[in-house]
Amino acid sequence: MNGRRVTIVDVAARAGVAISSASSALNGRSGVSQATRERVQEAARELGYVPSLRGRSLSTQRAFSIGFVLHRSLEVLEADPFFGAFIGGIEQAISPRGYALVLQVGSTLEEAEGRYRELAANRRVDGVLLNELRIDDSRIDLVQEIGLPAVGIVPPIDSFPLPCVRQGSAAGVRALVRHLVELGHRNIAHVAGPPGFVHSQERIDAWRGALEEAGLATGALIPGDFTYDGGRAAADEIAAMAERPSAVVCANDLSAVGLMIRAQELGWSVPGDLSICGYDGIALGTYVRPTLTTVQASPRRVGAAAAELLLDLIDDPEANALRHVDLPAGELVVGTSTGPVA
């Protein structure tokens, strides 16, 4: 805590060179002799110089940070472990490049949009990640309108107007359905995610398509919302059905667990009376009994890839304006929640 912080001026003075030379030397730019560069670097080391992000930020017009807005209620945030993995992946990708993550929470979609506007207006971040995209997501227009670099995560198929990272769930869901068909199931229902979300729709389509491929009739499409309670409600809905499915594919693990617990409360045997699978591969699925058959997604890799792409986009908007990164699909994880049809 000895008085003033050391700035580039101090370094330049100590090395006996101009400030501009010191800057060039420290940033590895060309235009400085090797001798000067070394002198400057040594001076910086001796003085314990750390460049001020603020000065750099103002002069380069960069914040050296990216934003991520979680748009879900605080309540859900407390229950769902899924997004922690995302964040880990993002951090892993950006911190080596000198960037930091600014995390915001917007409970409602409106609030989230407000956050994006704010972030863009005061330029707190150089770009943002758009997760949990909806079909016709309003944020797409928003970021284009306000000129905020953005990368979409699991975007609508095809002509997505922004760079994006996709880990498609279609292959995984098909694998789940095939697995069930092999076990002899003929009546396979689906507990969907909340309507409007790209990944909800993708899983519905994949489930339908896989049934068709197998030459089976389309099963019951039960509404859901990715939550534990939504899964429980789905079980009650199934209980009320005249012709009950022998297997269910849920849009995610959390709802699958809710469904399973409720099914057991209703006195059904899982998988004896009902085979259940989820999607995501969260740890919770291995805690419950029976263990959940699911697809192992890679949120950490998705987060890392998206963040990486965003930094590339910030560095070179032209070259990366439409880059699409496709991650390998998640793999089938067979638990004990699925079994042969009774």
Partner DNA sequence: TTGAAAGCGCTACCAG
Partner DNA sequence: CTGGTAGCGCTTTCAA
Amino acid at 254: L
The verdict on whether omega for the bond into residue 271 sits within 30 degrees of 0, i.e. cis, is yes
Write the binding mask 48 to 87 for DNA: x where contact by CB under 7 A, - elsewhere. -x-xx-xxx-xxxx--------------------------
Residues contacting residue 75 through CB under 8 Å, at least 6 positions apart: none
Instruction: Give the residue with the Cβ less far from DNA, 16 or 184.
Output: 16
Minimum CB–partner distance for residue 105 and a copy of itself (Å): 4
DSSP 8-state symbol, 197 = B
Instruction: Give the residue with the Cβ less far from DNA, 27 or 144.
Output: 27
Contacting residues toward a copy of itself, per CB under 8 A: 1, 5, 50-55, 57-58, 61, 63, 65, 74, 77-81, 83-85, 87-89, 91-92, 95, 100-105, 121-124, 147, 228, 257-258, 261, 264, 282-284, 287-289, 299-300
- Report what 288 binds from a copy of itself, DNA, none; CB cut-off 5-8 Å by kind: a copy of itself
The sign of the CA dihedral 106, 112, 116, 118 is: negative
- Please give the Cα distance from 261 to 259 (Å, whole number): 6
Give, as ranges, the residues between 17 and 36 that touch DNA (CB under 7 A). 17-21, 23-24, 26-27, 29-33, 35-36
- Report what 19 binds from a copy of itself, DNA, none; CB cut-off 5-8 Å by kind: DNA
Question: Which residue reads 């419950």 in tokens?
Answer: 288
DSSP 8-state symbol, 49 = -
Which H or E run includes 152? strand 150-153
- Report what 97 binds from DNA, a copy of itself, none; CB cut-off 5-8 Å by kind: none
On the 0-12 / 13-18 / 19+ scale of CB atoms within 10 A, 126 is buried
Interacting residues with DNA (CB under 7 A): 4-5, 7-9, 16-21, 23-24, 26-27, 29-33, 35-36, 49, 51-52, 54-56, 58-61
